[in-house]
Chains A and B, each alone.
Chain A
Amino acid sequence: MQAVSALTAKVPPLLELRDVHKSFAAVHALRGVSLALHPGEVHGLAGENGAGKSTVVRVIGGEHRPDSGVVLVDDAPVGFSGPRDAQRHGIAVIHQEPTQFPDLTVAENVFMGRQPVRSFRRIDRASMNAKAAELFESLGVPIDPWRVTRGLSIADQQIIEIGKALSAEARIIVMDEPTAALSTVETERLFRVAKRLAENGAALLFISHRLEEMYEICHRVTVLRDGALVTSSPMADIDRDTLVRSMVGRSVEQLYPEQTGEAGAEALVVAGLTRAGVFADVSFSVRRGEIVGLAGLVGSGRSEVARAIFGVDPLDAGQVLVDGERLPLGDPRAAIRAGVAMVPEDRREQGLILDLSIERNATLPRLGAVSRWGLVSRAKERSLAAKWADRLGVKRRRLTDPVATLSGGNQQKVVLGKWLATEPGVLIVDEPTRGIDIGAKVEVHALLAELAASGIAVLMISSELPEVLGMADRVLVMHEGRLTEELSKEDATEESVLQAATGGAS
């Protein structure tokens, strides 16, 4: 054990899992997972999607009972009857996107169900607010206890959850991907709070997909793969390569493929795109065979620009040219006809219809091609869907199964297939690898490179800087609704892009 845990090694763990197994129907979610959380320690839990991280969280949080194995709190075996019981044992789970009562005040949310009372069980608002203020003070994050939680950022809501946990005297705090929706500044603030909690003797379990963060905050890391424990090691003793390899089960040789394509003629040209209050005067072009990255912070207007080009969002001014032809604005159908395809940001709400079968999803933008006189040909529908599902290697049982039964990576392949079936000349991808595991991610990257090499113009939006830098031939950076920088592959570095994205002088 390392520095911090040298002390804690003798201290018994606050919480321990011993050889925990858990199955859901045929799926063996956890196979003998053991884990010990010590006071003062931040314990990282790593693994791909589906590795069982969330199941561990739910076992600890009292939502699931292990099929076998034990959970110990303070060295005593416990069998939680439910989340409330787990809370009584001092366990708190902070979710990625906390759920609060939006119309209640911050203090009311913190003390929900445990309000300090005066005589006749009247709620003692004054003391409640004072306590809440004190709590946030101790966390070093001033949040007004009087305000309603509606409109607070996710980061603030998480802090409220932490405050709630502390007010309930939680000593074991599980953070399930808390940083997924946070900006850099917010993440740093959360880490300060987390470190303070650990210093005060709490045991933290921290889950994140971002290895960088693990190295920054965790003392120890446990890696799960396919529900089994792969390794558990002090953070300082494991290098990135080893960590990734143990997560993936093989080494990831090359995450980003070589670009071979030569940029051809301009396939997509946009000029002076403006939507009042969202973005202004955005002009750029994408050539055939080129992948252009569109970077910027969340809220910089990247996705909105993409949606406006595709015609699903309105535009106040500007024009879009595809292969030199002017596109009518606000008409996705016309955009598709002109050869534009868009893999949208939100796979579940915009990319797919989860309850609809794979084949019906796959043919949705191309109903015209699988029909005659408006009548759908089942055979054509099936063969078009099968062609793309096979080409992209969608793992499925039947094409008639709802896409909801597929994993995230396979769902994303269906979205890609659905759009590739339209034989686009311009492909806009918005967060093409969000929420899919690393294996599928590599495949998506390879596919995008292959498409570009075949002469398609690709405009790629991504929040993941390495993805933008690894894939793009050129990087456009947006800041507060304006295109602020254009960087060649050579000039695009994490620093230069971030600087432009945050409005720093370039």
Chain B
Amino acid sequence: MLDRFLRWETVLLVLCVGVFAVGSASDGFGEQSNIAFLLLDYSEVALLAFALLPIVLTGEIDLSVASTLGFCSALTGTLWDAGIGFETIVPLVILAGVALGSVNAVLVVRFGLPSLAVTIGTLGLYRGLAYVLLGDRAVTGFPENYRPLATDSIAGTFVPYATVLVLFVGAAVAVLVHKTTTGRSLYAIGLGAQTTRFSGIRVDRIKFSLFLLSGGLAAVASLIYTLRYNSARADNANGMELVAVAAVLLGGVSIFGGRGTVLGVATALLAMAGLRNVLFLDDVSNEIQNVITGLLLILSVLVPVVFKPRRTKDAPLEPSVADAERRTGADPGGELRRDHQGV
């Protein structure tokens, strides 16, 4: 199983290197300011993708992440407008994000509704609430002592502060997913929720917390977004959920749950950020950029399907036909039922 992931991540890495190689031909690609811009440009997407990954591993989805970001941004603007200090706004906004996540969580976990439907609903709902707060106004003038955190690089390097945060979140998610007992449970839920429940794992509780985490991370992303553009608007990050989902899928995470790695998602993010940057530098229009990203995504799900037959090396272990019989669903109802008394 692991080899297969590694293979996909190798493909991604090659893609990534390819993008950057092509990029280096473009004017100004290699400059520190451009690399910093490239990284910053994808910091919110990366945070949303890292929030999505554990959810998708369990076989659920959260499409409301970008709308949560939008709402949190609008809330930041409203509070700032009302003269509240930024130190107070940060925890309030994160709390608001978690609260929005908890609405998803309650609907999906407590009421057992399909997360796809629920979060498409809240995608509209949260964006709508953002407009209720701010209308089509933009709030600007965020404090100069905070803005550099979202725009500047660490002195003497090309690494933006925001990227450090993204890396930290990525690492934390990697530990959660790959090293902890909860991580083990995530994969188990995605591949067999019922068995997981029968194994004494609190499936509902885990899913619930993932939606809270997702809301919280979207709120953090909203703070970066708002400070980076020095603009709080209701339509901030409109449609970004699709970019984040694309990164997750391109990263080799199965939409059905149970398969995928943080490394894969991280590599996919880097490749997508690089690609976008290259296309931007080469003056490729936004529309064509979308076309290319779209094709890449389709390719990413197509390639593993096309090359699947190679997997037959996983032949049944015992020299029996039991496996072949089992695959057809002809479950033998038990051997020699009630026959053996005389044996």
What is the interface of chain A, defined by CB distance below 8 A to chain B? 24-29, 48-55, 58, 95-97, 176-177, 179-181, 209-212, 226-227, 240-241, 244, 252, 255, 310, 312, 332-333, 335-336, 342, 344, 349-357, 360, 363-365, 367-368, 371, 374-376, 395-397, 400-402, 405-408, 410, 418, 431, 433-438, 441, 463-467, 469-470, 494
Contacts and interface: CB of A to CB of B under 8 A. Distances in A.
Most buried by A among B196, B322, B324, B336: B336
B192 A27 contact: no
Contacts of B103: none
B317 A96 contact: no
B303 interface: no
B110 interface: no
B332 interface: yes
Given A49-B332, A400-B2, A408-B322, A342 B339 contact: no
B335 A437 contact: yes
B30 to A, nearest CB: 39
Given A177-B330, A209-B332, A368 B181 contact: yes
Closest 6 CB pairs of A and B: A180-B333, A50-B320, A353-B192, A50-B322, A367-B181, A211-B339
Interface string B319-343: 1111111101111111111111111
B194 to A, nearest CB: 5
Nearest to B2: A400
A463 to B, nearest CB: 7
Contacts of A418: 199
A408 B199 CA distance: 19
Interface stretch (B149-157, B182-190, B290-298): B182-190
B188 A210 contact: no
B195 interface: yes
B315 A364 contact: no
Given A354-B192, A435-B335, 17 more contacts: A96-B330, A177-B333, A180-B331, A209-B332, A244-B340, A310-B198, A354-B191, A356-B258, A367-B181, A406-B317, A407-B322, A407-B323, A408-B332, A431-B334, A438-B335, A465-B338, A494-B341
A176 B188 CA distance: 33
A240 B343 CA distance: 8
A92 B342 CA distance: 35
A375 B179 CA distance: 5
B314 interface: yes
Contact of A336 (B200, B334, B340): B200
21 contacts: A50-B318, A58-B328, A176-B330, A180-B334, A209-B335, A244-B336, A255-B340, A332-B200, A352-B192, A352-B195, A353-B191, A353-B196, A364-B188, A376-B180, A376-B183, A400-B2, A401-B317, A407-B323, A410-B317, A438-B335, A463-B334
Given A354-B192, A365-B199, A376-B179, A177 B332 contact: yes
Nearest to B322: A50
A441 B335 CA distance: 8
Given A240-B343, A360-B188, A435-B332, A351 B337 contact: no
B137 interface: no
Given A54-B325, A364-B184, A434-B334, A349 B200 contact: no
Contacts of B329: 97
A312 B197 contact: yes
Contacts of A406: 317-318
A436 B333 CA distance: 9
Nearest to B259: A355
Contacts of B185: 367
B1 interface: yes
B312 interface: yes
A351 B199 CA distance: 8
A495 to B, nearest CB: 12
Nearest to A254: B343
A436 B332 CA distance: 8
B63 to A, nearest CB: 25
Contacts of A407: 316-318, 320, 322-323
B339 A212 contact: yes
Nearest to A350: B198
Contact of A96 (B196, B312, B320, B331): B331
Contacts of B339: 210-212, 240, 466
B179 to A, nearest CB: 5
A418 to B, nearest CB: 7
A96 B318 CA distance: 24
A350 B194 contact: yes
B192 A349 contact: yes
Contacts of B321: 24, 27, 29, 50-52, 54-55, 227
A187 B294 CA distance: 56
A353 B336 contact: no
A350 B2 CA distance: 24
Interface string B53-94: 000000000000000000000000000000000000000000
Contacts of B191: 353-356
A241 B333 contact: no
Contacts of B1: 355, 357, 400, 402
Most buried by A among B194, B326, B335, B341: B335
